[in-house]
Each structure stands twice: as C-alpha cells, then as structure tokens.
C-alpha cells in the first residue's frame, strides 16, 4: 500500500494511466470552446497502450500495454467519437482468464519457466494505425497488423496484407508516398543475425514487392524514412543479448545493450527495385523516430531525426508505465546529410536545442522538402526526467523559428497530427488529444497550424480518459 508521501511524488500525468482505460461507443462529442472549422472533415485515429495491469499485476514496460484505438470523426454536423480495445487473441485470452498470461517487450510470461516458451509474446497492437480505403490497421512491430472496421473499430483479426508469410512482422512506421499512393514498410526477423524485411504495397495495403537484407546481430530498428527515390535506415548501436532471451531468463527490453563502439549503421535502399544502394557507418546515437527525408538539389539525402545521445530513453519509457519517472532522456531535432551512393554521412547538424519527439511533416510533404516540422516537446520549465510530453510545437526551417502551444499546467498532449484543408491549400490545422490532470479528463484540441501559440480554435470533450498514446493518422472524408 502506498503512503501519502509516495503518492505525492507522482506528477499529474500519472492519473491518465492509473487505471485501465474505459471504452465508449459511438458518441456525439460536446464542443467545449470555439467551433469546428469549416473544411475540417475526416477522421482522426490514434493508438496507444490503454491497459497496463490485469489481475492486480502490472506490466513490465509502457510498451506492453494492450492497444486501444480512438476515432474522432469530424463532419458539418459536428464530431463523434468511439474508443475500443483491439481484440487481439492474447487480449481476449487474458480477459477471459482475468490475469496476465503472456510475455512482451518488457516482461517474461508469468508463472512456471515453461510459460516462456508456451506464451512468449502477445501482439499488443498498441503502437500506430494505418488507414486504408476499406479497413484500419492497428500496427505493432513484433507481429502482423490487426484489421479493424473504419467506423465501428470492430476487430476483424490479423491481416497478412497478401504477403506476410509465417515469421514476418510489419512495423508500426509505414511511409506513404503522397504522389503515388505506394506504402513502404519493414519488419525485423530475429536470428543469430537479424533480417531486415522490406515491403512495398499499393494504396490498398496489398504487398506487391519484398526484399530481405541481413543485419549485424539483433538490433532495435523502430522506424525508417522515405527520402525521394530512397528508403533510408539508421541502425542504432543497440544489440540484443540473445541467449538470456532464448532460455526465458530475460525479457526483450532488458536484453538490449547500448554498444556505442559499433556506431550507427546506414542502409540506403532504392524504392523502385528495393535493391541495396549502399551501406555505411557513422557515429553512435539512438533514434526512435524520423521526421522526414528528401533529396536536395546536389543529390544529397537530407534526413531529420529526433536524436538521443544514448539509450537511456528506454529506461525512461519503462518508468512511464509505473506512473513515476526519474531518468532524463533528451532528444533534439537533428539533420543528417548523407551521400546515398556511398552511405557516407557528410554532416550532422543539431537544428534545435529543445526536446523533440514524435516529429512529422504534413502528409503531402512526406519524402520531399518540407518547410515545417511538427513535434511534441516539453514546456520550457519542465523537469524532463519527471514529466511526460506536455506541449506541441512547429519548427520553421526557413526562418529557424520554434513556435509552441501553451497547454497550461498539468496538461499532456499526444503527437500533433497535421490536417490539410482539402478545399483550401492555404489552410491547415493541428489536432492533438489532451489529458487534463487538473480535471482528470481528456479532450480533443484543434489549432490553426499557423497560430500554435494562440488558443485552440476548438476543444471537444471525450467521455472517458484516453491514456497517453503513441501514434495516429488522419483520414480525409
């Protein structure tokens, strides 16, 4: 039992994950302030870990939580929302048993040692979403995606996209070319040396081309970037100690070791043929996420990342799942210049000395130069070792201007999603989901993308608390 003194060390954000999230059916959402902008029509989807405990037992890492999807649909008539857990086989089995049965990223399977082999990992379906013309995919990088109904969020089951044969996984970070509609993604197959599997799909999600390349050891590769005619992978110097994993003595997260002497490995892939253009190596860093990439006028590949100096971020994220953090892990928006033909990094620039996570650009700029990068960050006065992301911001590469929103104290935002007005190319918005620790409630906030430092143009109330989520997307009407 916690003492009052122990409770007092927790920050307001801990309330958002203190209990498993509560689903709600299709519900008309009240407008709390402002009005829904004309032209904002479509659906926001978000995915994140919504249940971090079952049967009184807490999961080992924030990444282990069962995924739940929020859908907020904007129309002329107002906004509706629905929130549902992804009904994976593992989720249903544990719900029926009333206890945790499976291992995951940060935990081994509970019970006797043989459970480590019988129930090694549960597909948590908790990381991102991909909205296809006829279905929504809930993505989790350790396995196949789950297909859901776009409107009701009913889970249809695992989907192989016509090409994910046994043993192939599909990462949470697809890249969709705005011009061709092609979708690129990857998955890692473990082994003595891991295999990087690369996929190209058409606009329906069906895999039409695959390639595979061997990596050194078993690294943690979470994301990649589309840059003009290239797909670029930076493989950080994190390697898994395989033996403790195989014998069930350690979980995936605890088996990952930071080995800066290896350096960051670079793979450049031709997007048309999926053939390897070059391999290179550069200094050590870690990144979860890429903001964007493009090819400049000189033929150099420019890649923007949220760069960490080491792998402390994994410990910080493990602590988030407990509701109390104490490990500092600062990431900065960093630009890497790369010769695609040789894989050689020619320059590394820190663009910004503010924490940067979940960076992204407007969908129409993916793979091309973008004036603006949007991101989540920390308010200037925050102790980043004890808080979670509590502001959203925009960086203007032309003027080098950083503009951030002021959410107020004890409010915590999700990754900013940029939404273009389909009828007016001059107008766009930024949408985020906010947990208000002052009132223990969640809201949807809509900002004018050019006025992030002003009040939101609209706030919508949600029927229940939405725990901090990882990634989302916007599907235009």
On the question of pLDDT at 41 being above 50, the answer is yes
- In sequence order, what are the residues at sequence separation of 6 or more whose Cβ sits closer than 8 angstroms to the Cβ of residue 375? 291, 306, 333, 356, 357, 358, 359, 360, 392, 393, 394, 395, 416
Q: Which residues in 86-144 belong to E strands, given as ranges?
A: 128-131, 136-139
Model confidence pLDDT, tens digit, residues 400-417 = 999 999 999 999 999 999
Q: For the CA atoms of 359, 363, 368, 369, what is the dihedral angle to 10 degrees?
A: -60
On the question of pLDDT at 5 being above 60, the answer is no
Q: In the prediction, which pLDDT does 247 show?
A: 66
CATH 2.130.10.10 correct for 4-476: yes
- Which helix or strand (DSSP H or E) is residue 198 part of? strand 195-201
Radius of gyration of the chain from Cα atoms? 21
User: Lowest-confidence range among 101-110, 351-360, 453-462?
Assistant: 101-110
Q: According to the annotation, is 58 in a ligand binding site?
A: no
Other beta carbons less than 10 A from residue 280's beta carbon: 18
Q: In the prediction, which pLDDT does 387 show?
A: 96
Q: In the prediction, which pLDDT does 269 show?
A: 98
**Contact indicator for 289, 225 with CB cutoff of 8 Å:** no
Provide the whole-model pTM. 0.96
Q: In the prediction, which pLDDT does 1 show?
A: 36
Q: In the prediction, which pLDDT does 8 show?
A: 53
Q: According to the annotation, is 289 in a ligand binding site?
A: yes
Q: According to the annotation, is 146 in a ligand binding site?
A: no
17: left (phi over 0), alpha (psi -120 to 50) or beta: alpha
Q: According to the annotation, is 355 in a ligand binding site?
A: no
**Contact indicator for 420, 362 with CB cutoff of 8 Å:** yes
Q: In the prediction, which pLDDT does 450 show?
A: 97
- In sequence order, what are the residues at sequence separation of 6 or more whose Cβ sits closer than 8 angstroms to the Cβ of residue 393? 354, 374, 375, 376, 377, 402, 403, 404, 405, 416, 452
Model confidence pLDDT, tens digit, residues 125-151 = 999 999 999 999 999 999 999 999 999
């Amino acid at each position: 039992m916690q003492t009052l003194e122990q409770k007092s060390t927790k920050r307001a954000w801990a309330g958002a994950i203190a209990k498993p999230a509560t689903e709600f059916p299709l519900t008309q959402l009240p407008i709390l302030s402002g009005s829904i902008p004309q032209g904002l029509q479509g659906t926001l989807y978000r995915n994140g870990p919504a249940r971090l405990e079952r049967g009184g037992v807490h999961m080992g890492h924030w990444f282990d939580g069962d995924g739940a999807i929020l859908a907020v649909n904007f129309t002329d008539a107002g906004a509706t929302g629905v929130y549902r857990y992804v009904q994976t086989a593992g989720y249903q089995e544990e719900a029926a048993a009333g206890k945790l049965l499976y291992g995951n990223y940060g935990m081994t399977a509970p019970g006797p040692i043989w459970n480590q082999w019988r129930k090694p990992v549960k597909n948590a379906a908790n990381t991102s979403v991909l909205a296809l013309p006829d279905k929504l995919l809930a993505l989790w990088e350790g396995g196949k995606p789950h297909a859901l109904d776009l409107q009701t969020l009913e889970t249809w089951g695992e989907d192989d996209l016509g090409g994910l044969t046994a043993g192939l996984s599909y990462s949470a970070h697809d890249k969709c070319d705005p011009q061709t509609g092609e979708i690129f993604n990857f998955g890692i197959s473990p082994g003595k040396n891991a295999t990087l599997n690369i996929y190209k799909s058409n606009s329906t999600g069906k895999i039409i081309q695959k390639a595979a390349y061997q990596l050194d050891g078993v690294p943690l590769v979470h994301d990649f970037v589309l840059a003009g005619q290239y797909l670029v992978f930076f493989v950080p110097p994190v390697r898994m100690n395989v033996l403790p994993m195989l014998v069930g003595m350690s979980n995936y997260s605890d088996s990952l070791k930071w080995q800066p002497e290896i350096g960051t490995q670079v793979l450049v892939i031709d997007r048309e043929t999926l053939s390897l253009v070059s391999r290179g190596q550069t200094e050590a860093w870690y990144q979860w996420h890429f903001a964007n990439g493009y090819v400049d006028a000189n033929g150099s590949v420019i890649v923007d990342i949220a760069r960490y100096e080491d792998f402390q971020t994994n410990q910080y994220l493990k602590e988030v799942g407990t509701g109390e953090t104490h490990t500092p892990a600062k990431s900065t928006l960093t630009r890497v210049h790369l010769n695609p033909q040789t894989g050689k990094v020619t320059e590394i620039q820190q663009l910004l000395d503010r924490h940067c996570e979940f960076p992204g650009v407007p969908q129409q700029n993916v793979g091309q130069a973008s004036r603006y990068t949007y991101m989540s960050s920390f308010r200037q006065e925050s102790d980043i070792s004890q808080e979670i992301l509590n502001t959203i911001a925009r960086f203007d590469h032309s003027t080098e201007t950083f503009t951030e929103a002021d959410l107020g104290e004890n409010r915590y935002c999700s990754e900013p999603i940029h939404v273009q007005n389909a009828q007016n190319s001059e107008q766009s918005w930024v949408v985020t989901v906010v947990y208000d620790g002052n009132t223990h409630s969640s809201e949807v906030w809509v900002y004018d993308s050019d006025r992030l430092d002003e009040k939101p143009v609209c706030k919508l109330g949600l029927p229940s608390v939405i725990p901090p989520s990882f990634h989302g997307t916007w599907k235009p009407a």
